[in-house]
């Protein structure tokens, strides 16, 4: 029986599912005393340091966790839980941490790498550990903007470190207490393996030796991610299907294309090595997602068997239902996080928010982006951009940021700008892609999912001019999307734009290209991959 500390932050369902998948039963902490009496405790943490600490203190959990750790009872902390072990964090000045490990958690400094760090990176073992020895150098899933660093007073705690511009602490351990910055429950087979060893036998967990020798010294590197995307909607018979458009038109001979069932396809892509899976509820802009229970069920079912990050998009916005009940965008997102999502992606609502924001560049704290990122962290908020090319003869013809294109328009126009659209590409707005992504970053978004209506479903390669432009405009990670037709297109987008991830749909759904072939091609080109 494993005890789980669920204090309402982030995606705890995945941790629960991972424990169950490994054959153990889960019991929740219901009162502070349960923390001390638990045989084995898992302490997950997602989101903002201050929010996490505030909840732990409010519910009377903080002091019990400290006591439990002093008593050396088997405990496994994840992500922000590791950070909470420290004295405090730059993320929430003035908020005290648990004070178990000396040091302050700080934001990644500018090293030219995008922040948050989102993706699969390696670990370097500093001590013998039965839990980790099989996984030294293995890639595990990280998602964070803040990190703990070694100092003379905390070296005895350091189990592994990882490099992302600078070296940071990726796991701590002492006695039978362990915490990881990465998410084992989102790190595929390797992560489940680490968790399984802890669950099975915490007696042998004890880390050997206080010596701090580096066992493997090479710098670790983050991998470029390959993401499988499932556009989901109900077809005319009312069945929820994975569909795929050509330049966003998902109908063929009047019928919605049906390329499979969402849960089955997501599982297949996980087993084939996808680094992430994204669901886009493409009619979410007109439905109310909390009434759209099938999507929530899809997430719940998928997260039982898929142990890599899941993103859900479509319809993340505030809503008043027919009975007059008001739901904030945060309520909608929270429901998705509780159902197994790690990130939510915001499309139309981000465009409307940016239109308002650009009027006087004042943050109101009321946009979906701000509300969700304050509670769940920037890394949980992805902006799905649906731009379309607008060709002009010269850059003076428009106030929008243009690009001189190698692919001129229908009348030989040599310039274009990228117009943002809403409602699944149905309506263009007077906002360009650079305005959108920079404003969203300022409002607190953590990642850009960059589609391209002109390229969608064409198999002709990513729009490199677009991806380069957006990469140059923001310092958060960018996922290139739309147009992948073969493995070489992924290599090209990584080498020529620096995008952190590349996403494809049609080629995977139609079985034309396997995820493993993409990974092989990318690795052969000398690009770090998982
Ligand atoms: O506006 O917040 O409700 O979100 C709606 C979401 O649904 C947005 O993320 C939007 O991108 C998406 N969406 C809406 N309509 C469509 C459509 O296709 N008719 N799909 C749609 C967007 C683009 C990608 C696609 C890539 C790769 N689809 O998801 O997977 O282009 O495709 P490819 O590899 O086959 O070229 P809101």
Is 322 in the same domain as 407? yes
Cβ–Cβ contacts within 10 Å for residue 205, how many? 21
Upper half-sphere CA count for residue 464 (Cβ side, 13 Å): 15
| Atom of ligand 1 lying closest to residue 484 CA | 34
Query: Active-site residue 185, yes or no?
Result: yes
- ipTM exceeding 0.85? yes
Is 475 in the same domain as 395? yes
Sign for the pseudo-dihedral over CA of 495, 498, 500, 504 = negative
Q: Could you read off the pLDDT of 40-95 as tens digits, one per residue?
A: 999 998 888 999 999 999 999 999 999 999 999 999 999 999 999 999 999 999 99
Query: Active-site residue 528, yes or no?
Result: no
pLDDT for 213 beyond 90: no
Domain boundary among 184, 200, 216: 200
Buried b (16+ CB within 10 A) or exposed e, 51-83: bbbeebeeeebbebbeebbeeebbbbbbbbbbb
Catalytic residue among 91, 138, 144, 183: 183
**Would residue 209 count as lying in a domain?**
no
Whether residue 504 has its Cβ less than 6 Å from ligand 1: yes
**Would residue 47 count as lying in a domain?**
yes
- Mean pLDDT rounded to a whole number for the chain: 94
The torsion of the CA quartet 70, 72, 76, 81, rounded to 10 degrees, works out to 10
Cβ–Cβ contacts within 10 Å for residue 17, how many? 21
Of 320, 343, 322, which Cα lies nearest the Cα of 333? 343
Report CA(435)–ligand 1 centroid distance (Å). 20
Whether residue 386 has its Cβ less than 6 Å from ligand 1: yes
**Would residue 213 count as lying in a domain?**
no
CATH of the domain at 21: 3.40.50.880
Report CA(146)–ligand 1 centroid distance (Å). 31
Q: Could you read off the pLDDT of 441-487 as tens digits, one per residue?
A: 999 999 999 999 999 999 999 999 999 999 999 999 999 999 999 99
Structure tokens at 406: 């190698």
Of 109, 114, 63, 115, which Cα lies nearest the Cα of 84? 63
Is 166 in the same domain as 284? no
Is 178 in the same domain as 245? no
Whether residue 482 has its Cβ less than 6 Å from ligand 1: yes
When pLDDT is cut at 50, 70 and 90, the band that residue 202 belongs to is: low
When pLDDT is cut at 50, 70 and 90, the band that residue 112 belongs to is: confident
CA 197 to each of CA 16, 36, 205, 336: distance values in angstroms, whole numbers, following the listed order: 16, 22, 8, 30
Q: Which of 228, 283, 462, 482 to mutate to test the pocket of ligand 1 (most atoms within 8 A of CB)?
A: 482
Answer for the pair 382, 311: CB distance below 8 angstroms, yes or no: yes
CA 256 to each of CA 239, 264, 287, 416, 507: distance values in angstroms, whole numbers, following the listed order: 11, 19, 17, 31, 18
Q: Which of 424, 453, 490, 510 to mutate to test the pocket of ligand 1 (most atoms within 8 A of CB)?
A: 424
Whether residue 259 has its Cβ less than 6 Å from ligand 1: no
Catalytic residue among 91, 138, 144, 185: 185
Whether residue 368 has its Cβ less than 6 Å from ligand 1: no
**Would residue 211 count as lying in a domain?**
no
Is 486 in the same domain as 402? yes
| Owner of token pair 């293995």 | 138
Whether residue 505 has its Cβ less than 6 Å from ligand 1: yes
**Would residue 270 count as lying in a domain?**
yes
Is 355 in the same domain as 475? yes
Q: d(Cα 291, Cα 293) in Å, to the nearest integer?
A: 5
When pLDDT is cut at 50, 70 and 90, the band that residue 401 belongs to is: very high
Domains in the chain: how many in total?
Answer: 2
**Would residue 187 count as lying in a domain?**
yes
Of 458, 482, 487, 459, which Cα lies nearest the Cα of 470? 482
Whether residue 387 has its Cβ less than 6 Å from ligand 1: no
Answer for the pair 168, 147: CB distance below 8 angstroms, yes or no: yes
**Would residue 217 count as lying in a domain?**
no
Query: Active-site residue 79, yes or no?
Result: yes
DSSP letter for 67, please: H
Structure tokens at 48: 């903002």
pLDDT for 216 beyond 60: no
**Would residue 530 count as lying in a domain?**
no
Structure tokens at 166: 């600078």
H or E segment to which residue 350 belongs? helix 348-360
Buried b (16+ CB within 10 A) or exposed e, 402-423: bbebeeeeeeebbbbbbbbbbe
CATH of the domain at 273: 3.20.20.70
Pairing of strands 251-252, 240-243: unpaired
Whether residue 485 has its Cβ less than 6 Å from ligand 1: no
pLDDT for 212 beyond 70: no
Domain boundary among 200, 217, 239: 200
Report CA(479)–ligand 1 centroid distance (Å). 13
Answer for the pair 116, 151: CB distance below 8 angstroms, yes or no: no
Is 154 in the same domain as 279? no
Q: Which of 341, 448, 451 to mutate to test the pocket of ligand 1 (most atoms within 8 A of CB)?
A: 451
Residue-by-residue DSSP string for 188-209: HHHHHHHHHHHHH-SSTTS-B-
Structure tokens at 526: 């000398």
Is 107 in the same domain as 242? no
pLDDT for 498 beyond 80: yes
Is 383 in the same domain as 309? yes
Answer for the pair 528, 491: CB distance below 8 angstroms, yes or no: no
Is 377 in the same domain as 276? yes
Report CA(231)–ligand 1 centroid distance (Å). 6
Answer for the pair 464, 454: CB distance below 8 angstroms, yes or no: no
Report CA(8)–ligand 1 centroid distance (Å). 30
pLDDT for 215 beyond 60: no
Query: Which pLDDT belongs to residue 203?
Result: 62
Query: Which pLDDT belongs to residue 130?
Result: 80
Query: Which pLDDT belongs to residue 25?
Result: 96
Cβ–Cβ contacts within 10 Å for residue 96, how many? 14
Structure tokens at 90: 């730059």
Whether residue 309 has its Cβ less than 6 Å from ligand 1: no
Is 186 in the same domain as 257? no
Is 293 in the same domain as 366? yes
When pLDDT is cut at 50, 70 and 90, the band that residue 26 belongs to is: very high
Print the domain residue range for 72. Answer: 2-200
Query: Which pLDDT belongs to residue 321?
Result: 85
Segments in 205-280 forming alpha helices (H): 262-271
Q: Which of 282, 458, 505 to mutate to test the pocket of ligand 1 (most atoms within 8 A of CB)?
A: 282
Structure tokens at 327: 């739901």
Structure tokens at 53: 């600490």
Domain boundary among 155, 184, 200: 200
Task: Give 360-365 contacts, CB < 8 A, sequence gap 24+.
Answer: 361/442, 363/442, 363/443
């Amino acid at each position: 029986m494993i005890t789980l500390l669920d204090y309402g932050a982030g995606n705890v369902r995945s941790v629960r599912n991972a424990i169950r998948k490994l054959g153990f039963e889960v019991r929740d902490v219901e009162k502070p005393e349960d923390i001390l009496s638990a045989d084995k405790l898992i302490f997950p943490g997602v989101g903002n340091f201050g929010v996490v600490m505030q909840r732990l203190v409010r519910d009377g959990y903080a002091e019990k966790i400290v006591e439990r750790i002093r008593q050396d009872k088997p405990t496994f902390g994840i992500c922000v839980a590791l950070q909470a072990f420290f004295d405090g964090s730059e993320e929430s000045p003035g908020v005290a941490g648990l004070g178990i490990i000396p040091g302050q958690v700080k934001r990644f400094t500018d090293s030219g790498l995008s922040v948050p760090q989102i993706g699969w990176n390696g670990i370097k073992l500093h001590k013998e550990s039965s839990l980790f020895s099989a996984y030294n150098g293995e890639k595990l899933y990280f998602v964070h903007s803040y990190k703990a660093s070694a100092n003379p007073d905390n070296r005895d705690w350091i189990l592994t470190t990882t490099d992302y511009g600078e070296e940071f602490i990726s796991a701590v351990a002492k006695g039978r207490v362990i915490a990881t910055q990465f998410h084992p429950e989102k790190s595929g087979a390797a992560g489940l393996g680490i968790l399984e060893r802890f669950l099975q036998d915490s007696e042998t967990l004890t880390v050997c030796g206080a010596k701090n020798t580096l066992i493997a010294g090479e710098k670790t590197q983050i991998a470029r991610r390959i993401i499988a995307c499932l556009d989901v909607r109900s077809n005319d018979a009312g069945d929820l299907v994975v569909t795929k458009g050509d330049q966003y038109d998902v109908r063929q001979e009047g019928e919605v294309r049906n390329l499979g069932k969402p849960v089955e396809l997501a599982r297949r892509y996980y087993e084939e090595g996808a680094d992430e899976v994204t669901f886009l509820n493409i009619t979410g802009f007109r439905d109310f997602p909390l009434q759209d229970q099938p999507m929530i069920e899809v997430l719940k079912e998928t997260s039982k068997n898929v142990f890599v990050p899941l993103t859900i998009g479509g319809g993340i916005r505030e809503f008043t239902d027919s009975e007059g009940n008001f739901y904030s965008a945060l309520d909608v997102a929270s429901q998705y996080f509780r159902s197994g999502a790690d990130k939510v992606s915001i499309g139309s609502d981000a465009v409307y928010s940016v239109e308002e924001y650009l009027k006087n560049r004042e943050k109101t704290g009321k946009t979906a982006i701000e509300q969700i990122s304050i509670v769940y962290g920037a890394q949980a908020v992805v902006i799905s951009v649906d731009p379309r090319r607008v060709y002009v003869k010269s850059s003076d013809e428009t106030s929008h940021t243009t690009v001189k294109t190698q692919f001129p328009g229908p009348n030989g126009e040599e310039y274009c700008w990228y117009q943002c659209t809403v409602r699944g590409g149905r309506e263009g707005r007077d906002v360009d892609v650079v305005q959108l992504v920079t404003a969203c970053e300022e409002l607190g978004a953590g990642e850009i999912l960059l589609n391209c209506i002109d390229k969608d479903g064409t198999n002709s390669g990513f729009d490199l001019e677009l991806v380069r432009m957006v990469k140059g405009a923001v310092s958060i990670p960018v996922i290139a999307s739309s147009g992948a037709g073969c493995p070489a297109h992924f290599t090209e987008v990584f080498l020529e734009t620096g995008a952190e991830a590349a996403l494809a749909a049609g080629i995977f759904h139609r079985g034309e290209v396997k995820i493993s072939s993409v990974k092989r091609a990318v690795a052969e080109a000398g690009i770090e991959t998982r």
